[in-house]
């Protein structure tokens, strides 16, 4: 394919577009004479609108200079955030863009409105984590008047949301409006319902749910108010800059809004470039060769940045210091656009430098480092645990770490071993917490396979979460007509022997009745010194019946972290 196309007033060779654009964070899925289908990498949210993509493409493909910042007029409008928003959506930002060119035909204007909404939803999905971290509202400024206010409502306020023809209360929107139903889990009624109003008490938005019809964007809109609310300050700032930038690219004039935050601090939108110190030694280490200043400047310029000088590493500048440098090392001072939220470290600037140079320009060089992989010390013990229980005829299984209170505690008569980690917005009631024990999941597997011929012997070495900290346990469960307490004790002593335990240090203590799934008098706690490392015994029929099991079951569960503490691995003593 070697066709010539015109895009935004520039003429391009489409075959070079396809090969070159893939380097800046997009994949060309398909292309023809009229359209190009593009997939954007998740680390480049600044390419999610065609206006912002065109800006990046102009500098990258045709070396058209694109300044790192844009001018922002000091606007008169204000927005006041009530202290009640501290625990609702603590970060609130706003900006205005006036005089946006939306097209010279009805079709073009319709496409603009659709493009604006698409850009908003893409940012909601990526930066916004489905509106939890960031929610964006874009409003027509006609018919509203500042100053604007943001506060937590009690839920009884009413307004007409987009897609409806009648006023609805906030609680009603969450119950009946499609967007309300979809995002109701983001609202915590006991903390309040966030609302954005103008000075006449007209509702602009109910973030992160829905905007009002009074400020609906139409084909006649040309002046826009952008509001962004959320929990992730950095993502919120990136979102408002990206929406404002896309409208600026259509000829709009960006105007700041003076936002007084819930804590009394003031905020105004700016597009000041972010400065990074990029040590010369870091560039040389990653590239494998030295690069001249002119090539570096050209490459950074293609990525929308600019080199403004050289400094010592210990001099003050925004950005992170690379730990591999000395204070006297020289570093390039590089300015990058504030909307490039993917840039977190000087290494990211070096990556942009390589992309600007072109991956094909890097020399072929074989690796000089040979670092063979080696297992972690803990993995040796875990491997022997698996080998030991497999030698007893048990098959390893892997189950979900998500469960619920009934299966985890009530059905097996156990109590939490520490704070329970709960899922705030579980998809189903079956998966509302992270497990603290493995045995309930093993009983479920035995129940699911009860129609197969006995015996069934299974075990799992897996993760548990106690006091919100990851832990590891190993458990087995055997449905065997000839099994019992003695067989369970054999499993236990065989496992401890294979892990290097001295039987003289192992103490078995009878477990209290009806504590856990165990049959009274047929359960033992395993102690090494004063440390409880696990429990084994026969499962009480009254417990196994709850799982639909009608056969004798012996089982055990051991805490691997406790085993690590009490039985140092004999290979590393």
Q: What is the 3-state secondary structure (H, E, C) of 122-149?
A: HHHHCCCCCCCCEEEEEEECCCCCCCEE
Nearest to 214 by CA among 199, 204, 228: 204
d(CA 163, CA 160): 8
Which ranges of 419-537 would DSSP assign to H, the alpha helix? 439-448, 485-498
Is 286 within 8 Å of 322 (Cβ atoms)?
A: no
In CATH terms, are 4-62 and 274-360 the same topology? yes
Nearest to 148 by CA among 70, 229, 71, 54: 229
Tokens of 405: 């209170």
Q: Which residues contact 6 (CB under 8 A, 6 or more apart)?
A: 12
DSSP string, 21-57: HGGGTEEEEEE-SS-EEEEE-TT-GGGSSHHHHHHHH
d(CA 283, CA 329): 12
CATH number of the structural domain 274-360: 3.30.56.10
DSSP strand pairing (531-539 vs 518-528): antiparallel
What number of CA atoms fall less than 13 Å from residue 287's CA on the CB side?
26
Is 312 within 8 Å of 331 (Cβ atoms)?
A: yes
Tokens of 79: 């927005």
Q: Which residues contact 36 (CB under 8 A, 6 or more apart)?
A: 14, 17, 28, 30
Is 108 within 8 Å of 102 (Cβ atoms)?
A: yes
CATH topology of domain 78-267: Phenylalanyl-tRNA Synthetase; Chain B, domain 3 (3.50.40)
d(CA 540, CA 458): 18
Q: What dihedral do alpha carbons 210, 212, 218, 224 form, nearest 10°?
A: -90
Q: Residue 321's pLDDT is what?
A: 46
Domain positions in the chain are 4-62, 78-267, 274-360, 377-572
Q: Residue 571's pLDDT is what?
A: 54
Extract the runs of DSSP E, i.e. beta strands, from 441-559.
Answer: 456-466, 469-479, 506-510, 518-528, 531-539, 553-559
Name which CATH class applies to 4-62: alpha beta
Q: Residue 11's pLDDT is what?
A: 43
- Helix then strand count (H, E) for the chain reads 15, 29
**Sheet hosting strand 253-256, strand order edge to edge:** 134-140, 224-230, 91-98, 253-256
- Looking up tokens 């013990």 gives 381
Tokens of 217: 């964007």
d(CA 572, CA 570): 5
| 401 CB-contact burial (10 Å; exposed 0-12 / middle 13-18 / buried 19+) | middle
Is 330 within 8 Å of 280 (Cβ atoms)?
A: yes
- Looking up tokens 């929107």 gives 173
Residue 13 bridge partners (DSSP): 4
In tens digits, what is the pLDDT along the chain, a chain of 573 residues? 334 334 444 444 444 555 555 566 666 667 677 777 778 888 889 999 989 988 888 888 777 777 888 999 998 999 999 999 999 999 999 999 999 999 999 999 999 999 999 999 999 999 999 999 999 999 999 988 989 999 999 999 999 999 999 999 999 999 999 999 999 999 999 999 999 999 999 999 999 999 999 999 999 999 999 999 999 999 999 999 999 999 999 999 999 999 999 999 999 999 999 999 888 888 888 888 888 888 899 999 989 999 998 888 764 444 444 455 555 678 889 999 999 999 988 899 999 998 888 877 787 777 776 777 777 777 888 888 999 999 999 999 999 999 999 999 999 999 999 999 999 878 788 899 999 999 999 999 999 998 888 899 999 999 999 999 999 999 999 998 888 999 999 999 999 998 888 888 899 999 888 889 999 999 999 999 889 999 999 999 999 999 989 899 999 999 998 988 888 765 554
- Looking up tokens 């890097």 gives 362
Residue 455 preceded by cis peptide, ω within 30: yes
Q: Residue 25's pLDDT is what?
A: 62
Length of the chain measured in residues:
573
CATH topology of domain 377-572: BirA Bifunctional Protein; domain 2 (3.30.930)
Nearest to 332 by CA among 386, 363, 377, 292: 292
Residue 471 bridge partners (DSSP): 464
DSSP string, 249-298: TTT-EEEE-EEE-TTS-EE----PPEEEEEEHHHHHHHHSS---HHHHHH
């Amino acid at each position: 394919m070697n066709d010539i196309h015109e895009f935004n007033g520039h003429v391009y060779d489409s075959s070079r577009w396809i090969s070159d654009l893939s380097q800046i964070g997009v994949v060309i899925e398909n292309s023809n004479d009229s359209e190009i289908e593009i997939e954007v990498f998740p680390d480049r949210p600044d390419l999610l609108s065609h206006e912002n993509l065109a800006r990046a493409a102009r500098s990258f493909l045709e070396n058209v200079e694109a300044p790192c910042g844009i001018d922002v007029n000091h606007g008169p409008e204000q927005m006041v955030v009530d202290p009640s928003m501290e625990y609702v959506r603590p970060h609130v930002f706003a900006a205005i863009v006036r005089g946006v060119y939306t097209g010279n035909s009805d079709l073009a204007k319709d496409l603009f409105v659709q493009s604006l909404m698409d850009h908003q939803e893409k940012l909601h999905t990526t930066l916004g984590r489905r509106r939890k971290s960031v929610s964006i509202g874009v409003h027509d400024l006609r018919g509203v008047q500042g100053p604007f206010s943001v506060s937590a409502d009690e839920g009884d306020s009413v307004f007409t949301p987009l897609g409806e023809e009648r006023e609805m209360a906030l609680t009603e929107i969450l119950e009946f409006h499609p967007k309300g139903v979809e995002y109701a889990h983001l609202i915590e009624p006991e903390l309040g319902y966030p609302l954005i109003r103008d000075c006449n008490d007209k509702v602009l938005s109910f973030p992160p749910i829905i905007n009002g019809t009074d400020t609906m964007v139409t084909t006649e809109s040309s002046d826009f108010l952008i509001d962004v609310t959320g929990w992730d300050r950095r993502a919120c700032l990136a979102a408002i800059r990206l929406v404002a930038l896309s409208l600026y690219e259509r000829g709009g004039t960006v105007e700041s809004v003076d936002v007084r935050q819930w804590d009394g601090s003031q905020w105004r939108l700016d597009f000041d470039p972010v400065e990074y110190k990029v040590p010369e030694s870091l560039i040389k280490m990653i590239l494998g060769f030295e690069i001249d200043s002119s090539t570096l400047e050209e490459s950074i310029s293609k990525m929308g940045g600019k080199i403004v000088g050289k400094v010592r590493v210990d001099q003050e500048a925004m950005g992170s210091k690379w730990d591999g440098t000395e204070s006297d090392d020289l570093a390039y001072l590089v300015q990058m656009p504030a909307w490039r939220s993917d840039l977190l470290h000087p290494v990211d600037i070096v990556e942009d430098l390589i992309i600007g140079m072109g991956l094909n320009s890097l020399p072929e060089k074989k690796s000089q480092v040979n670092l063979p992989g080696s297992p972690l010390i803990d993995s040796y013990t875990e491997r022997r645990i698996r080998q030991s229980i497999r030698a007893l005829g048990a098959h390893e299984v892997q189950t979900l770490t998500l469960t619920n209170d009934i299966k985890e505690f009530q059905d097996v008569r156990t109590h939490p071993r520490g704070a329970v980690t709960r899922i705030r917005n579980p998809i189903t009631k079956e998966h509302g917490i992270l497990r603290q024990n493995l045995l309930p999941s093993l009983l479920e597997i035995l129940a699911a396979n009860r129609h197969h011929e006995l015996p069934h012997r299974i075990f799992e070495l897996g993760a548990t979460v106690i006091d919100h900290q990851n832990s590891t346990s190993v458990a087995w469960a055997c449905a065997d007509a000839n099994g019992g307490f003695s067989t369970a004790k054999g499993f236990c002593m065989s496992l401890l022997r294979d892990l290097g335990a001295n039987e003289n240090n192992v103490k078995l203590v009878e477990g209290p009745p009806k504590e856990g799934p165990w049959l009274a008098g047929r359960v033992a706690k395993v102690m090494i010194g004063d440390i409880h490392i696990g429990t084994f015994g026969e499962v009480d029929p009254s417990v196994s019946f709850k799982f639909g099991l009608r056969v004798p079951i012996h089982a055990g569960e051991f805490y691997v972290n406790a085993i690590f503490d009490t039985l140092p691995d004999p290979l590393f003593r």
